[in-house]
Amino acid sequence: MVNVSIRATDKRISDEQLLEALAKAIEGQNLKKVLLLPPDMTRLHSYAGKITAMYYQMLKDTCQVDIMPALGTHDPMSEAECLEFFGPDVPYSVFVPHRWKDDIVKIGTVPAEYVREVSEGLIDYPIDVEVNKRLLDPSYDLIISVGQVVPHEVVGMANYSKNIFVGCGGKTIINRSHFLGAVYGMERVMGKDFSPVRKVFDYAETQFIKNMPLMYILTVTTVDAGEVNLEGLYIGRERFLFENALEQSQKRNLIFLDRAPKKVVVYLDEREFKSTWLGNKSVYRTRMAIADNGELLILAPGVRKFGEDSGIDALIRKYGYVGRLKVLEAYKQNEDLQDNLSAAAHLIHGSSDGRFSITYAVENLTREEVEGVNFNYMQLSDALARYNPAELKDGWNTLPDGEEIFYISNPAIGLWADKKKFNA
């Protein structure tokens, strides 16, 4: 397998450079059956849709190509979503769903002793490693995992082996890794390597899937005036490629503020964010920037539910975003949270612990529903009348009446932080 790395010298890697790199990575391989593992619409700005479509076109005439989006616990992609993300040249018939409850196989266990060590004694359970059975199908000559390296609230920096163990994983590893990250503390890991969860994934990578015919394609992207720029491309299997992508993402996707905003307004693209499970990236990615007693206002035209999965949705409605200590207490006393640790982790992540207020401006949830999970409610039309995304620029804005806000057009592309908090 050939390692390929490109960093843009003029803002973005061109499509010609991208196509050449993708071809070089598989040059000389006699491929008859390939499995592609891109993300879903929640990584709309990852460039993975275009990369997947390029590989499909490159291989389809000589090779069977299956595409299984790395959904984790998210909803399966609809035909319309696949068309928008991957384009018209990839037929819907080649997509197969990842059923995280049914289509999984246990391939090993990360010992409790190791989990205790990497969590500094906070967690001491073992973690069964489960992956979709397709990844173990010997008829695949090559499995290509495509994804974006970007700050992440659970693992520190998204992608690399996370795409396998969470995106294509089963209930136990998803739940237990998310809870491990939540208990350890997201502000200790976001934007950094070697978090406890990353160490668990590294263990599983080296111990359980080292013989899998797997190739990673890692992207680093930015968004400028609505246009996605591919700034870094790293292809291969070795961890140093992830480390190089991580280092570039830290430079391009970490936004340090010289002062803490009292009010942050975040817009959620309705194609990408349909639940608070996803929309709470607004909370995760800004919490290290917002001033004490500040306000986070989330403009959420597409949010119509709390959890992507109906069971998780019910748990969020039952317990609400009530803060870390209350969630941990509820976890100790209730079997339904003990059985769904990723929901417990999400409830911890989605609260400000009373440090700042969180308001969802929506049209597809009622006031009672929003306030029932411990968020503030605002009618979307009222919020858009005052905070019109078409009239705001990313960063600091001063409204006509003198109100100062910090605006973010997409929370999925970065991490905003006070540098002192980031380095603490």
CATH code of residue 287: 3.90.226.30
pLDDT at 418 over 90: no
Look at residue 43 in the predicted model and tell me its pLDDT.
Answer: 80
Q: Tell me the per-residue pLDDT of 85-142, one tens digit each, with 9 for 90 and over.
A: 999 999 999 999 999 889 999 999 999 999 999 999 999 999 999 999 999 999 999 9
Q: Tell me the per-residue pLDDT of 66-75, one tens digit each, with 9 for 90 and over.
A: 999 999 888 8
Q: Which residues contact 26 (CB under 8 A, 6 or more apart)?
A: 58, 142, 215
Q: Tell me the per-residue pLDDT of 220-263, one tens digit each, with 9 for 90 and over.
A: 999 887 788 999 999 999 999 999 999 999 999 999 999 999 99
Separation CA 39–CA 45 (nearest Å): 10
Answer yes or no: do 198 and 278 share one domain.
no
Q: Among 235, 255, 275, which residue terminates a domain?
A: 255
Look at residue 308 in the predicted model and tell me its pLDDT.
Answer: 84
Answer yes or no: do 286 and 245 share one domain.
no
Q: Are 112 and 83 in contact (CB under 8 A)?
A: no
Answer yes or no: do 312 and 250 share one domain.
no
Answer yes or no: do 248 and 325 share one domain.
no
Report the run of H or E that residue 66 belongs to, with start and end: strand 64-67
Answer yes or no: do 160 and 268 share one domain.
no
Cα 329–chain centre separation: 27
First to last CA, the chain: 40
Look at residue 424 in the predicted model and tell me its pLDDT.
Answer: 54
Separation CA 165–CA 201 (nearest Å): 7
Q: Are 284 and 190 in contact (CB under 8 A)?
A: yes
Q: Among 217, 239, 255, which residue terminates a domain?
A: 255
Answer yes or no: do 246 and 338 share one domain.
no
pLDDT at 370 over 80: yes
Strand duo 156-157 + 151-152: pairing: antiparallel
User: What is the chain's mean pLDDT, rounded?
Assistant: 94
The residue range of the domain holding 34 is 4-255
Answer yes or no: do 68 and 215 share one domain.
yes
Look at residue 150 in the predicted model and tell me its pLDDT.
Answer: 94
Separation CA 403–CA 135 (nearest Å): 53
Of 153, 408, 81, 83, nearest to 268 by C-alpha is 408
Separation CA 34–CA 213 (nearest Å): 10
Of 285, 233, 219, 213, nearest to 38 by C-alpha is 219
What confidence tier does 420 reach under pLDDT thresholds 50, 70, 90?
A: confident
Separation CA 60–CA 330 (nearest Å): 51
Answer yes or no: do 353 and 365 share one domain.
yes
Answer yes or no: do 263 and 227 share one domain.
no
Answer yes or no: do 221 and 339 share one domain.
no
Look at residue 72 in the predicted model and tell me its pLDDT.
Answer: 87
Number of domains in the chain: 2
Look at residue 368 in the predicted model and tell me its pLDDT.
Answer: 98
Look at residue 239 in the predicted model and tell me its pLDDT.
Answer: 96
- What is the rounded average pLDDT of the residues 55-84? 93
Q: Which residue pairs, CB below 8 angstroms and at least 24 apart, start in 104-107? A: 104/130, 104/131, 104/132, 104/133, 104/169, 104/170, 104/171, 105/130, 105/131, 105/132, 105/133, 105/136, 106/130, 106/170, 107/131, 107/136, 107/208, 107/209
CATH code of residue 14: 3.40.50.11440
Q: Tell me the per-residue pLDDT of 182-212, one tens digit each, with 9 for 90 and over.
A: 999 988 999 999 999 999 999 999 999 999 9
Look at residue 30 in the predicted model and tell me its pLDDT.
Answer: 92
Answer yes or no: do 238 and 269 share one domain.
no
Q: Among 198, 220, 255, which residue terminates a domain?
A: 255
Look at residue 423 in the predicted model and tell me its pLDDT.
Answer: 66
Answer yes or no: do 308 and 336 share one domain.
yes
Look at residue 273 in the predicted model and tell me its pLDDT.
Answer: 94
Lowest mean pLDDT among 41-45, 159-163, 347-351, 395-399: 41-45
